Amino acid sequence: MHEVRTAPGSDSASAVTHEAVPALEAHDLTVAYRKKPVLYGVDVAFPQGHLIGIVGPNGAGKSTFIKAVLGIVKPESGWMKIFGEPAETSHRRIGYVPQRESVDWDFPVTVWDVVMMGRFGRMGLFRRPKKEDREVVADCLEKVKLGSLAKRQIGNLSGGQQQRVFLARALAQESDIYLMDEPFAGVDASTESAIIILLEEMRDSGKTVVVVHHDLSTARDYFDSLMLLNMRLVAFGAVDEVFTPELLQKTYGGRLTVLSEMALKSARGKGEARE
């Protein structure tokens, strides 16, 4: 359990502005694929410096939500703001970890090359990587413990290592907010705990980290706040407030899988124990 709830910076002079400006704000966000709505009128504001999980059943629009924020899919209506500025002009301020299956891992590039791509937003079209960029890349590789594999072609890595490559690439963007699409998918238990420790460190240094997550049984332990999503926003708030049987039931509807039922039961158990 992670009891740290206070946003870093809340004790500093800038606390007022930090709390006033959400890291990410969406208003009446509606997204449709081929005229079929996937997200419907979502209003949400993520505070800065939190580790936030987005949970919901398959097809709930979790990935679509972050893709809309990133400008990868165009919303039908609504607006989004990143640190108070229109999202359309702030995409490059967002560190992004896409789903692992979204790329061809036979692509002839090395771990180092991929992480360096995280610097391209800062480099623009014409600049070449400088010493500073190389230092950041080396540093990010160390953070995810891939330093020794820098020269490896990315196909010759395990699933967990590939996921860490994406994580390092996002770190190399040096953003203040990170959106991650299922960073724990296909990852072994030890990598998963290494990643969550890294995410907590990022949160503790003031970053806002948003993670699409499909495993209800760990969601409670991993995140400070949860966004429960099923086409519409079911709830957003601190884990203790929203990880309740009623809200989870509402999120997952009648379509609870065996596993999520188990998680629900354990949530109930913990809830009762607390009372």
Partner 1 sequence: MSATTRAIILGLAALALGAPPVFAERIGDIVTTDPGEQLVKFLTFSDPGVRWTVLAAVLLGAACGLVGSFIVVRKMALLGDAISHAVLPGVALGFAWNMEKDAVAILTGATAAGMIGALTIGAIRRTTKIKEDAALGIVLASFFAIGICALKSIENTGRAGNISGVNHFLFGQAGALNQSDVVVLAIVFALVCLFLAVFCRQLLAASFNGEFAGVLGLPVRWLDNALLLLLTMVIVVSLQAVGVVLVSAMLVTPAATAYLMTDRFHRMLSYAVLFGVIAAWSGALLSFLRTDLPTGPFMALSASAMFCIAYLFAPRQGTILRWLRRLRRERRVREENTLKAIYKVLENRDFDGESVSFEELAQIRREPVETAQTRTEFLVHTGEATVDGDSIHLTPPGLQRAREVVRNHRLWELYLTNEADYAPDHVHDDAEKIEHILGEEAVRALERQLDFPETDPHGKPIPTV
Does residue 126 bind partner 1 (CB under 8 A)? yes
Pick the stretch among 35-43, 74-82, 94-102, 250-258 that binds partner 1 (CB under 8 A).
Answer: 94-102
How distant, in Å, are the alpha carbons of 26, 227, 245, 258 from that of 270? 32, 20, 11, 18
Residue of 9, 10, 150, 153 interacting with partner 1 (CB under 8 A): 153
What's the closest the beta carbon of residue 36 comes to partner 1, in angstroms? 13
Token pair belonging to 106:
């036979």
Q: What ranges make up the beta strands (E) of the chain?
A: 24-33, 36-46, 51-55, 77-82, 85-86, 94-97, 177-181, 208-212, 225-230, 232-238
Does residue 125 bind partner 1 (CB under 8 A)? yes
Cα–Cα distance for residue pair 183/100, rounded to 1 Å: 8
Residue of 50, 169, 207, 232 interacting with partner 1 (CB under 8 A): 169
Pick the stretch among 13-21, 65-73, 194-202, 232-240 that binds partner 1 (CB under 8 A).
Answer: 65-73
Pick the stretch among 55-63, 93-101, 134-142, 259-267 that binds partner 1 (CB under 8 A).
Answer: 93-101
Does residue 121 bind partner 1 (CB under 8 A)? yes
Task: Name, in order, each residue with C-beta under 8 angstroms of 234's C-beta and a sequence gap of 6 or more.
Answer: 56, 228, 247, 250, 251
In this complex, which beta carbon is closest to partner 1, that of residue 18 or of residue 119? 119
- End-to-end C-alpha distance for the chain, whole angstroms: 17
SS3 for 223?
coil
Residue of 46, 65, 83, 96 interacting with partner 1 (CB under 8 A): 96
CB of 203 closer than 8 Å to CB of 49: yes
Residue of 30, 110, 193, 249 interacting with partner 1 (CB under 8 A): 110
Residue of 59, 84, 86, 155 interacting with partner 1 (CB under 8 A): 155
In this complex, which beta carbon is closest to partner 1, that of residue 16 or of residue 72? 72
Token pair belonging to 135:
């230092």
In sequence order, what are the beta bridge partners of 134?
Answer: none
Does residue 91 bind partner 1 (CB under 8 A)? yes
DSSP state for residue 88 in the 8-state scheme: G
What's the closest the beta carbon of residue 217 comes to partner 1, in angstroms? 21
> Binding residues for partner 1, per CB under 8 A?
67, 70-72, 91-92, 94, 96, 98, 102-104, 107-110, 113-114, 117-118, 120-121, 124-126, 128, 153, 155, 169, 173
